[in-house]
Structure 1
Amino acid sequence: MIMGSHYGSCTMSSSHAPIRLWYEDVTISDEAPYALLLDGRTAHTSSGITLAHKSYMFMQQIQKEWQRQDTFLVLHTLPLTRLLSGFLEMDADVRLGFFEELYNYSQHELLCYQADAYTPLAQQQQRSWQPWLEWGKEIYGHPWQTTHSIMPIVQSQALIDAIKAYLATLCDVQIFCYTILTQSLGSYLITDALLRSICPPEEALACAWLEHDTHMAQWGDDPELQEKRTQLAHQIRDVLIFHGASL
């Protein structure tokens, strides 16, 4: 089996044509790192890397993903497999790209760009976002500049240096998970609090989805947005599972 993936832009590289199942038995190897076996044969990423992990319990969850497939392989129902594959294929160049992407997100932090004052959205942002901006100030030792304009703002050099210093301490697993969630949530700061186990997943989702939720509260539910919100909640769950099993 060859699983193609690339999480530099949080995408999956694979044929869009349906893939008919070619295996019957899904097992896990007996020794760590535990590999996924399809009909007794080791599964690999598109680069030929063995699809394996140090945690047997984590690999059991991947095993269940493959056991649930029926007739055709449905890639979006293999989220943990895709995360593991993407991580295993992360080389030095991809890691550097992730580092730079996280830095860029931190310099254009979602929470720093707020709606016009006195609007319902601005009031919601003040209640939901301001505590995390204060937390970010405490963690990094410097305040985050905010604006009600769409014009870009420049954070202080002291804050920039503190963020760079922290990013330099992250291991490969952390860099990978930070990048995936920051891309999806649109916020480095919320991702930071989430992966430090300070911000609960439900609150992280609510902060990232605040504008959409406020809009729907005013104008009614949007089924398409609700579906995207549900998908994001599932992705947060899956990344936290991978993050916890891999550290």
Structure 2
Amino acid sequence: MSEWKARRFWTTAEVAEQGDGYSVLLDGREVRTPAKAALILPSRALASQIAAEWQAQEGTIEPLSMPHTRTANSAIDKVMPQHAEVAALLADYGDSDLLCYRADSPAELVERQKAAWDPMLDWAAETLGARLLPRTGVIHQPQDPQAVALLSRRIGALSAFELAAFHDLVSLTGSLVLGFAAFLNAAPTNRIWEISRIDEFWQQEQWGVDDDAQDVAERKSVAFQHAKHFVDLARSDS
């Protein structure tokens, strides 16, 4: 038996001011989240993007073609009720950041990691005030608790919409530093993604490209680009 899908029932999707935020109206009816909460967005830019996703639906509604709507739903239904827990989850990356765990050989990989990752750790120390130190090997070695606590406070100050996207920026790269770098425009988004994949690029050079792994990497890249776009729209003044 085929799965039932909701069908388009509206003619026009548009944005309306709603208190301090913005809502999306389908023929004058407010869009709600899967948990039936009001879909109130923090910026007109984000609301306009979501309205465009609804307007683009034809026939049956395809949630996978509505990434900004899905992330906004997650921000309201999942992140808002457990903001502290999500922030704490991400703060843990500061104590085991990808950029801090270095290979001890071969020399070329060691140098590539150093050339790509040291500048990002320097940026975090200068811009975020948190100096994280690199280690050789994969055995966990705790970072300075004060540096981790400072990063944790920065995460806790994010809005639910920022945190929903920030979660993906961090988890997809495995790096709290790179998540902040993308969030704060420290480098082009594509470059930050490439920095997170130094080890994968090395493996490809040694053993060739695995098609399945490449497909996964491409999907993650798209998700990373989306998270960056979402947070930019959420923080927009327009």
Question: Alpha-carbon deviation of 1:182?
Answer: 0.9
The 1:196–1:219 alpha-carbon spacing in structure 2 relative to 1, beyond 3 Å, is same
> Are 1:154 and 2:127 counterparts?
no
* Structure 2 counterpart of 1:19: 5
TM-score, L = length of structure 1: 0.81
> Are 1:209 and 2:188 counterparts?
no
* Structure 1 counterpart of 2:124: 136
What CA RMSD, in Å, does the superposition of the two structures yield over aligned residues?
A: 2.6
Contact 1:145 1:153 in 2 (8 A): no
Identity %: 21
Letter of the 2:202 partner, please give it.
T
Question: Alpha-carbon deviation of 1:141?
Answer: 4.1
Choose 156-165 or 184-193, whichever is displaced more.
156-165
The 1:137–1:57 alpha-carbon spacing in structure 2 relative to 1, beyond 3 Å, is closer
Q: Which runs of 5+ in 2 are unaligned?
A: none
Distance 2:98 2:173 in 1: 9
Question: Alpha-carbon deviation of 1:147?
Answer: 2.0
Bigger relative contact order, structure 1 or 2, given CA contacts below 8 A and separation 6+?
2
Letter of the 2:103 partner, please give it.
A
Q: Which of 50, 69, 93 lines up with 2:57 in the alignment?
A: 69
The 1:207–1:188 alpha-carbon spacing in structure 2 relative to 1, beyond 3 Å, is same
The 1:116–1:31 alpha-carbon spacing in structure 2 relative to 1, beyond 3 Å, is same
Letter of the 1:80 partner, please give it.
H
* Structure 2 counterpart of 1:95: 83
Contact 1:18 1:73 in 2 (8 A): no
TM-score, L = length of structure 2: 0.83
Task: Please give the per-residue CA displacement for 1:56-109, whole angstroms capped at 9, x wherever unaligned.
Answer: 343332233233334433322211011111112245551011111111111111
| 3-state SS of paired residue (1:89) | helix
| 3-state SS of paired residue (1:244) | helix
Give the number of equivalent residue pairs: 232
Q: Which of 166, 181, 202 lines up with 1:178 in the alignment?
A: 166
Contact 1:25 1:40 in 2 (8 A): no
Letter of the 1:117 partner, please give it.
S
Distance 2:100 2:35 in 1: 40
Correspondence list, 1:52-131, <5 A: 52-90=40-78, 93-131=81-119
Letter of the 1:27 partner, please give it.
A
Letter of the 1:25 partner, please give it.
T
* Structure 2 counterpart of 1:232: 220
Distance 2:95 2:81 in 1: 21
Contact 1:37 1:43 in 2 (8 A): yes
